[in-house]
């Protein structure tokens, strides 16, 4: 299962240079959450954000979709948005999915809530094959841009966990259990105004 997903995804992984040269355009650049420390992104998440900002400034999409965990005393997506704004991304270009509690939920909600048809997904290389496989299952045309901008502690642990997660999400891709949170649609082509959780700049 793991070998199949890794081999299938390999042609869909592209660097920022390759993407710029391809002149591809996407409904959004989807940034998957990776944890925060207080009001700062973890190194994994900061690199995802930096890569996504580079791709945004290269005009591969006019929208960033930040997807992560927003629970009690933990607002990952707001930290993601604040960081992008600090790097020069206008607030109106940023959409926030407050219920991206897992990769599966982030992908399914991108399709069902944000009406994404095409996405450039940003994460570390070990994680992207699973995200891309789920995107295909959800009906999203997607490529992945690896954000491995440094070496990371505990990478062996991440990779071992990911091997199990690929097996789980392979099943989810076909069974399609409902995403944990549903709600009104917020089309990525419009403005970011989810009624339950208004964005704060």
CB 80 within 8 A of CB 33: yes
The predicted-structure confidence for 17-69, as pLDDT tens digits, reads as follows 999 999 999 999 999 999 999 999 999 999 999 999 999 999 999 999 999 98
The predicted-structure confidence for 109-166, as pLDDT tens digits, reads as follows 999 999 999 999 999 999 999 999 999 999 999 999 999 999 988 889 989 999 999 9
Comparing C-alpha atoms, which of 79, 73, 105, 106 is closest to residue 94? 79
Rounded Cα distance between 145 and 7, Å, is 16
What are the tokens at 38?
A: 């207080």
Structure confidence at residue 191 (pLDDT): 66
Structural domains of the chain sorted by starting position, each given as residue range(s) with its CATH number in brackets: 2-175 (3.40.50.620)
Residue 1: band (very low, low, confident or very high) from pLDDT cuts 50, 70, 90: confident
């Amino acid at each position: 299962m793991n070998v199949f997903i890794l081999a299938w995804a390999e042609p869909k992984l592209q660097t920022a240079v390759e993407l710029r040269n391809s002149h591809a355009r996407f409904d959004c650049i989807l940034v998957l959450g990776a944890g925060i420390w207080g009001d700062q992104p973890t190194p994994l998440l900061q690199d995802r954000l930096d890569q996504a900002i580079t791709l945004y400034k290269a005009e591969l999409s006019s929208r960033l979709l930040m997807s992560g965990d927003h629970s009690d005393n933990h607002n990952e997506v707001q930290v993601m948005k604040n960081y992008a704004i600090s790097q020069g991304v206008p607030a109106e270009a940023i959409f926030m999915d407050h219920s991206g509690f897992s990769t599966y939920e982030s992908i399914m909600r991108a399709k069902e809530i944000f009406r994404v048809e095409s996405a450039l997904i940003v994460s570390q290389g070990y994680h992207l094959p699973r995200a891309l496989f789920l995107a295909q299952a959800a009906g999203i045309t997607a490529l992945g841009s690896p954000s491995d901008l440094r070496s990371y502690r505990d990478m062996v642990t991440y990779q071992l966990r990911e091997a199990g997660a690929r097996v789980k999400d392979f099943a989810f891709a076909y069974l399609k259990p409902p995403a944990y949170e549903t709600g009104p649609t917020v089309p990525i082509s419009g403005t970011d105004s989810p009624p339950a959780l208004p964005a704060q700049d």
